[in-house]
């Protein structure tokens, strides 16, 4: 049980993922995001070798649809996997195998793929998409977060009609540089989606400060002074 | 304002990195780790771009010390960085930039190095290495977390007007795969290392389950049932 959105920002070309799940520390799946290349997020009964292989292929120049075909041909248990991919061209694809836990499904649009399993119903996938599309002018990181929040508000995860809360969440955004621009995790929390928004709001107050540490450390204030001034 | 331990396990060849910091989400800087290649970090006033370059240089076969030289040569602000590199032989190379805030420095052990800036003192790093070395039979992720706890208990970080509590922490281990084997983080918490211990202990019994579920999906127990089983067991 997990739901995710992988997407490309049509305005900036940035790539990212927002995800939440019952499993602990979903953000440990950092192999699913490769700066300047793409995002491939496998879930349900995922094999962790899949995403690095998908990104290796994308790095060669293959399109996500071709990569998905290769993955399917290379996996005897493809019916148990669910995957979404997006590349820097905004090409998005998704796969939901027949044996993935119900409700499961995906929706693919220009620049995004929303997908989940162990969900309350199809309204959760619709909720992710609606959240992501709700404010096209919002910063990309918030659009991804609104996607996750949209899924959460639409009922999130459930088995046999019973609501199943998430315990972890992850938001990651990459730009043209070789390291992740934003990479925030909530590994174990009673309300990981709410905590992820709090964390993002707070981290963004520091973003320019941390950029200055990298680019112009000679003129940067002491961090404890910066924090005191916030 | 960070203390870190970077290691190569001489027995298994696994790499590990543990970090704690007053800065937020310090685990975002743990991307410089790759199976059979090495582990590296740029901290102090971090240049996260160093980590990717370090991995590429080590993968090309350069030693830790050569890699360090190239990283410094590529960074006009290298005096503000603390750059740590451990290569696949366990060789360690470190540069403590002259502009790091005090106390800053590093202490090396066997295929291991503790490094930090804005610390209570050198004792923090000595304590980390001692805790890491104390349980050679334990799994690497446990030894790394013990080291973070020891660094905290030896005084941790210190700012202009006294102690600074770590607000984020991470422990990451890489084995033979194209992904990290152990990778847990706390991005913002008043007692980040204690919170990481809580997550660590909760996660531990799940690690093997997540691998088994992937390899044998037809026989997999649903995640929720598995969590319930654990609860019953501990009750």
Asked if B187 and A179 come within 8 Å (Cβ–Cβ), the reply is no
Residue B225 counted as domain residue: no
CA distance B183 to A30: 9
Name the pLDDT band for B145 (thresholds 50, 70, 90).
very high
Per residue in B101-142, pLDDT (tens digit) is 999 999 999 999 999 999 999 999 999 999 999 999 999 999
B183: which 2 tokens? 């990778």
Which of A217, A226, A228, A229 would best serve as a mutation to test chain B binding (most B beta carbons within 10 A)? A217
Any chain A CB within 8 A of the CB of B52? yes
- Judged against a pLDDT cut of 90, whether residue B148 lies above it is answered with yes
CA distance B60 to B69: 15
How many Cβ atoms from other residues are within 10 Å of residue B231's Cβ?
9
- Residue pair A78/A96 in contact (Cβ under 8 Å)? The answer is no
Question: Hey, which residues does A2 pair with through a beta bridge?
Answer: A21, A117
Any chain B CB within 8 A of the CB of A49? yes
Per residue in A145-203, pLDDT (tens digit) is 999 999 999 999 998 889 999 999 999 999 999 999 999 999 999 999 999 999 999 99
Residue B213 counted as domain residue: no
Residue partners of A208: CB distance under 8 A and separation at least 6 = none
Residue B101 counted as domain residue: yes
Does domain A2-229 correspond to CATH entry 3.60.20.10? yes
- Residue pair A172/A27 in contact (Cβ under 8 Å)? The answer is yes
Asked if A217 and B210 come within 8 Å (Cβ–Cβ), the reply is no
Q: Give the CATH number, domain containing residue B129.
A: 3.60.20.10
Domain region containing B46: 2-204
CA distance A74 to A68: 10
Which of B217, B219, B221, B230 would best serve as a mutation to test chain A binding (most A beta carbons within 10 A)? B217
CA distance B44 to B48: 11
Any chain A CB within 8 A of the CB of B175? no
Residue B77 counted as domain residue: yes
Per residue in A50-70, pLDDT (tens digit) is 999 999 999 999 999 999 999
Residue B118 dihedral angles phi and psi, to the nearest 5° = 55, 50
Closest Cβ opposite residue A223 in set B22, B182, B183: B22
CB-CB neighbors (< 8 A) of A206 in chain B: 23-24
Name the one residue in this structure whose structure tokens are 């709410």: A194
- What is the per-residue pLDDT for B137? 93
**Closest approach of B202 to chain A, Cα-based (Å):** 8
- Judged against a pLDDT cut of 80, whether residue B235 lies above it is answered with no
pTM: 0.96
A56: which 2 tokens? 């290796």
Specify the DSSP class assigned to residue B5: E
Residue B218 counted as domain residue: no
Residue B214 counted as domain residue: no
Q: Please state the domain count of chain B.
A: 1
Asked if A213 and B45 come within 8 Å (Cβ–Cβ), the reply is yes
Residue closest to B169 by CA, chosen among B129, B143, B198, B196: B196
CB-CB neighbors (< 8 A) of B49 in chain A: 177-179, 214
Asked if A222 and B45 come within 8 Å (Cβ–Cβ), the reply is no
Name the pLDDT band for B27 (thresholds 50, 70, 90).
very high
Any chain A CB within 8 A of the CB of B34? no
Residue B83 counted as domain residue: yes
Per residue in B36-95, pLDDT (tens digit) is 999 999 999 999 999 999 999 999 999 999 999 999 999 999 999 999 999 999 999 999
Residue B231 counted as domain residue: no
């Amino acid at each position: 049980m997990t739901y995710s959105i992988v997407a490309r920002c049509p305005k900036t070309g940035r790539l990212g993922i927002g995800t939440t799940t019952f499993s602990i520390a979903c953000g440990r799946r950092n192999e699913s995001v490769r700066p300047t290349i793409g995002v491939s997020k496998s879930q349900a009964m995922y094999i962790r070798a899949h995403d690095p292989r998908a990104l290796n292929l994308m790095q060669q120049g293959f399109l996500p649809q071709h990569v998905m075909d290769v993955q399917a041909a290379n996996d005897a248990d493809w019916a148990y996997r669910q995957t979404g991919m997006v590349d820097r061209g905004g090409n998005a694809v998704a796969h939901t195998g027949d044996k993935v836990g119900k409700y499961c499904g995906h929706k693919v649009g220009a620049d995004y793929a929303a997908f989940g399993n162990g969900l309350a119903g199809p309204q959760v996938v619709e909720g992710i998409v609606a959240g992501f599309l709700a404010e096209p002018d919002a910063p990309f990181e918030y659009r991804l977060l609104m996607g996750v929040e949209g899924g959460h508000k639409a009922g999130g995860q459930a088995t046999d009609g019973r609501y199943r809360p998430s315990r972890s969440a992850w938001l990651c955004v990459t730009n043209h540089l070789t390291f992740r621009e934003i990479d925030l995790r909530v590994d174990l929390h009673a309300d990981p989606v709410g905590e992820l928004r709090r964390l993002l709001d707070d981290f963004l107050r520091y973003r320019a400060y941390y950029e200055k540490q990298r680019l112009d450390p000679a003129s940067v204030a002491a961090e404890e002074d910066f924090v005191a001034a916030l | 304002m960070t203390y870190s331990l970077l290691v190569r396990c001489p027995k298994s060849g696994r790499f590990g990195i543990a970090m704690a910091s007053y800065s937020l989400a310090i685990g975002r800087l743990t991307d410089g780790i790759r199976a059979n290649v090495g582990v590296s970090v740029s901290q102090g006033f971090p240049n996260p771009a160093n980590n990717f370059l370090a991995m590429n240089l080590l993968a090309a076969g350069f030693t830790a010390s050569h890699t360090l030289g190239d990283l410094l040569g590529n960074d006009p602000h290298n005096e503000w960085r603390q750059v740590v590199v451990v290569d696949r032989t366990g060789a360690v190379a470190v540069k403590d930039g002259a502009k790091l805030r005090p106390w800053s420095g590093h202490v090396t052990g066997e295929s291991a190095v503790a490094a930090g800036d804005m610390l209570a003192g050198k004792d923090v790093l000595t304590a980390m290495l001692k805790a890491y070395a104390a349980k050679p039979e334990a799994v690497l992720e446990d030894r790394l977390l013990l080291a973070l706890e020891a660094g905290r208990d030896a005084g941790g970080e210190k700012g202009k007007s006294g102690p600074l509590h770590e607000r984020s922490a991470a422990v990451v281990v890489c084995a033979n795969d194209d992904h990290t084997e152990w990778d847990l983080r706390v991005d913002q918490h008043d007692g980040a290392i204690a919170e990481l211990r809580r997550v660590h202990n909760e996660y531990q019994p799940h690690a093997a389950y997540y691998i088994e579920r992937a390899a044998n999906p037809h026989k997999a127990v649903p995640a929720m049932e598995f969590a319930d089983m654990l609860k019953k067991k501990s009750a």
